[in-house]
């Protein structure tokens, strides 16, 4: 900023250059810390930086004083004096005490040459208003205007929104923490339940295995007993079958022998009867043949 200000001064006519440079030095000699120097509205100005006061009614930095060369005169604008009635009163009295004439509007001290100014009074007036004081005066004055009230309401809303956002953020963080703890606890409970379930299942499996083993042993014993009984029953049945077979065979043989005996007797009887019938038949044939022969002889004799 210093280079821009120096350039502004260097472009002035020599007489004005000397006067403006002297006033600038008087202001800088007592300027409270926190203000910055630069060009605002085409004038050398000392102002509150945006880092300290970001919002102003016109979007320009809040100037505490400005200095420049006009067409017919030079002027020092003391906004801090204009905005503070008590400081304004002190300033007028202090200037009057120097014996110099004060050519001043609301905030503008007009001069044509350096000797017209009371530089000590100017420096003292500048030193009496700190950045914090000046910002407070500005905000108090602006708060009484419609625009200021609107801005204040907007700032209040922004503050409330910020607080609400903070509250919501804290609530969300707390809720997240509670949910996290609940999830961790639930996970722990589920883990324990699963472990217990696995343990119970293992015991049940072990018990089932033991029962299965016992049942298997009983089944094997029962099977062995059944096998032994089956074998005994089979042996007994085999014995009975053999005995029955032997008995049946004996009966069959006796029956066959008896049948054979009867058959032989019947055959012998039939043979004897056949011989008898044959003898009878032979005797009859012989008798018939003898009668036929005798009849033949008688016929032959007759012829």
pLDDT tens sequence across 3-56: 999 999 999 999 999 999 999 999 999 999 999 999 999 999 999 999 999 999
Geometric angle at alpha carbon 129, from 118 and 154, rounded to 5°: 135
Query: In terms of DSSP bridges, do strands 108-111 and 62-69 run parallel, antiparallel, or are they unpaired?
Result: unpaired
Name the DSSP class of 32.
P
What is the C-alpha to C-alpha distance for residues 20 and 112, in angstroms, rounded to an integer? 10
Q: φ, ψ for residue 67 (rounded to 5)?
A: -140, 135
pLDDT bracket for residue 168 (50, 70, 90): very low
- Which structure tokens are listed for 78? 């003391």
Beta bridge partners of 45: 38, 66
Instruction: Record the pTM.
Output: 0.50
| List of domains in the chain | 2-145 (3.90.1150.200)
| Closest by CA position to 61, among listed 37, 30, 28 | 37
Q: How far is Cα 175 from Cα 155, in angstroms, rounded to an integer?
A: 29
Q: Pick 195 or 91 by higher pLDDT.
A: 91
Q: Give 175's pLDDT tier (boundaries 50, 70, 90).
A: very low
Beta carbons within 10 angstroms of residue 211's beta carbon = 10
| pLDDT score of 38 | 97
| Averaged pLDDT of the chain | 82
Task: Report the share of the chain in percent with pLDDT over 90.
Answer: 44
Q: Which of 96-100, 214-218, 236-240, 251-255 has the lowest mean pLDDT?
A: 214-218
Residues with Cβ within 8 Å of 12's Cβ and at least 6 positions away in sequence, in order, are 20, 69
**CB of 240 closer than 8 Å to CB of 233:** no
Band of residue 235 on the pLDDT scale cut at 50, 70, 90: confident
Q: Which tokens go with 225? A: 């007993």
**H or E element, residue 292:** helix 146-302
Torsion over CA: 101, 105, 106, 112 (sign): negative
The share of the chain scoring above pLDDT 70, in percent, equals: 77
The whole-angstrom separation of Cα 65 and Cα 77 is 5
């Amino acid at each position: 900023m210093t280079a821009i200000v120096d350039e502004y001064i260097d472009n002035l006519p020599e007489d004005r250059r000397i006067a403006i440079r002297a006033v600038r030095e008087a202001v800088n000699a007592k300027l409270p810390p926190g203000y910055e120097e630069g060009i605002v509205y085409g004038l050398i100005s000392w102002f509150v930086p945006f880092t300290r006061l970001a919002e102003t009614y016109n979007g320009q930095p809040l100037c505490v004083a400005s200095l420049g060369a006009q067409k017919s005169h030079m002027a020092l604008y003391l906004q801090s004096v204009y905005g503070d009635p008590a400081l304004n009163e002190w300033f007028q009295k202090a200037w009057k005490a120097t014996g110099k004439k004060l050519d001043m509007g609301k905030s503008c001290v007009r001069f044509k040459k350096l000797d017209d100014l009371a530089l000590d009074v100017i420096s003292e007036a500048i030193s009496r208003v700190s950045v914090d004081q000046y910002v407070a005066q500005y905000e108090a004055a602006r708060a009484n205007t419609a625009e200021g009230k609107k801005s204040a309401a907007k700032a209040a809303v922004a503050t409330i929104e910020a607080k609400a956002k903070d509250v919501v953020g804290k609530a969300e963080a707390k809720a997240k923490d509670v949910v996290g703890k609940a999830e961790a606890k639930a996970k722990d409970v589920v883990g324990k339940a699963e472990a217990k379930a696995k343990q119970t299942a293992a015991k049940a499996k072990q018990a089932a295995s033991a029962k299965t083993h016992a049942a298997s042993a009983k089944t094997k014993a029962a099977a062995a007993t059944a096998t032994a009984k089956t074998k005994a029953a089979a042996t007994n049945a085999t014995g009975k079958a053999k005995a029955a077979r032997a008995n049946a065979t004996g009966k069959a043989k006796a029956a066959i022998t008896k049948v054979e005996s009867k058959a032989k007797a019947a055959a012998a009887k039939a043979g004897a009867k056949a011989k008898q019938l044959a003898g009878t038949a032979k005797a009859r044939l012989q008798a018939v043949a003898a009668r036929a022969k005798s009849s033949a002889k008688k016929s032959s004799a007759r012829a």
